[in-house]
């Protein structure tokens, strides 16, 4: 049986790697991002590897856009029963410099987006009597200087995850979270630029703090998501897995 998966924020980085991994696992994948055109590279990579994928454009913080996006997936691929809430943005700043817009934007994309997507997709999961929700948290949920908004959003993702696990478990739906440590992506490149540090220098410094002595890759996170979405993870729910090269949490 082919499972239908939606991965948000899948045009690049962790989302793209996750979409490709789930396609390799045998899922048909809806590659969702703000602009459908930006998803072309991910969709093409999946198709080139023999998988099936479509590009979907939607603002995950817009309830109407989310409803249209999930309806499109249902019409073109089938009812989605796997959801990976990966979409996110950063607006880093110290508290006294952080604006209300910085706060609202980050909380809206991460938390409101995950809520809206989960609420819409759970209809299909409950109907199927099977489902997987994986939310992307972060080690920043434990606190991180200059990221009051992002840390709050990522901590909130863990509370949302545990509540979804409680509410949806009776319908055969699991909900888990993956909390990445330092991962080499465009987002962390932006952080280096904000700090005025060269990206390679930034990577080396952060890797030195990790017990495994390396930075993480999007594929490291995709592998963890793949496990939570698998048939074999059917009795694992409400968990937060830190994928950070060492103990966290």
Show which residues are catalytic.
150
DSSP state string for 80-125: --EEEE-------B-GGG--HHHHHHHHIIIIIHHHHHHHHHHHHH
- Tokens representing residue 181 in the block: 């440590």
- Tokens representing residue 98 in the block: 């952080």
Nearest alpha carbon to residue 186 among 6, 14, 8, 7: 14
Directed axis angle between helix 148-168 and helix 100-107, to 10°?
Answer: 30
Contacts of 178 (CB under 8 A, 6+ apart): 134, 135, 136, 137, 221, 224, 225, 228, 240, 241, 243
Nearest alpha carbon to residue 236 among 179, 172, 180, 174: 174
Contact between residue 239 and residue 176 where contact means Cβ atoms under 8 Å apart: yes
């Amino acid at each position: 049986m082919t499972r239908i998966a939606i991965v948000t924020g899948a045009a690049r980085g962790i989302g793209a790697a996750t979409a490709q991994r789930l396609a390799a696992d045998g899922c048909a994948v809806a590659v969702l991002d703000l602009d459908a055109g930006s998803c072309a590279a991910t969709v093409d990579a999946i198709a080139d590897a023999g998988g099936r994928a479509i590009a979907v454009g939607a603002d995950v913080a817009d309830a109407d856009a989310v409803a249209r996006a999930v309806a499109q997936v249902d019409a073109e691929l089938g009812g989605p029963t796997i959801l990976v809430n990966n979409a996110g943005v950063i607006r880093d700043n110290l508290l006294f410099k952080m604006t209300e817009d910085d706060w609202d934007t980050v909380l809206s994309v991460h938390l409101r987006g995950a809520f809206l997507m989960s609420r819409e997709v759970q209809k299909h999961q409950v109907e199927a009597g099977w489902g997987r929700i994986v939310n992307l948290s972060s080690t920043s949920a434990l606190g991180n200087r200059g990221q009051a908004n992002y840390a709050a959003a990522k901590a909130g993702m863990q509370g949302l995850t545990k509540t979804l696990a409680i509410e949806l478990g009776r319908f055969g739906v699991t909900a888990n979270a993956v909390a990445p440590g330092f991962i080499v992506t465009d987002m962390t490149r932006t952080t280096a630029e904000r700090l005025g540090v060269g990206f390679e220098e930034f990577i080396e410094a952060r890797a030195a703090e990790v017990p495994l002595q390396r930075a993480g890759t999007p594929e490291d996170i995709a592998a963890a998501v793949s496990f939570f979405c698998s048939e074999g993870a059917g009795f694992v729910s409400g968990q937060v897995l830190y994928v950070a090269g060492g103990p966290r949490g």
